[in-house]
Amino acid sequence: MTKYKEYFGKMVEANKELFDKFARIHTDYGMDNDKQSLTGGTSKYQEEFNKEGEQVLKVIHEWENRLCSHSEKAGFSNYTGNLAEKFQEEIKNHFPLIDHIGIIVKRFRLDQIKLR
């Protein structure tokens, strides 16, 4: 198993409760997002998604730093950028909407104009 996948697995295991909760919210947010685009409103899960997502991002950055610092100490500092990128790709494979954390979506809605 590659190092970044190993660190991803360790990160999820060490923070199982947090990632399980975020996975449920992530799923709800993704399904609700589709409905909101049709109605013109904001997602009812957006606030909870942002709040939990903030904690998840802190953990992800901590583990990414561990992974990269471990490689730098081993003398592979030229490859840490690629390693961090692959680690982020692995995260996006499991949580495709992770980049939506912190985004506040307000949809524009235009009511019909009634003519006489």
Compute the residue count for the chain: 116
Using one digit for the tens of pLDDT, what is the confidence trace for 26-43? 999 888 755 454 444 456
Contact 63, 10 (CB under 8 A): yes
What are the extents of the domains in the chain? 3-96
User: What pLDDT is stored for residue 38 in this prediction?
Assistant: 42
Between 111 and 93, name the one with better pLDDT: 93
Sorted by sequence, the CB contacts under 8 Å of residue 36 that are 6+ apart come out as 42, 43, 105, 107
Sorted by sequence, the CB contacts under 8 Å of residue 21 that are 6+ apart come out as 52
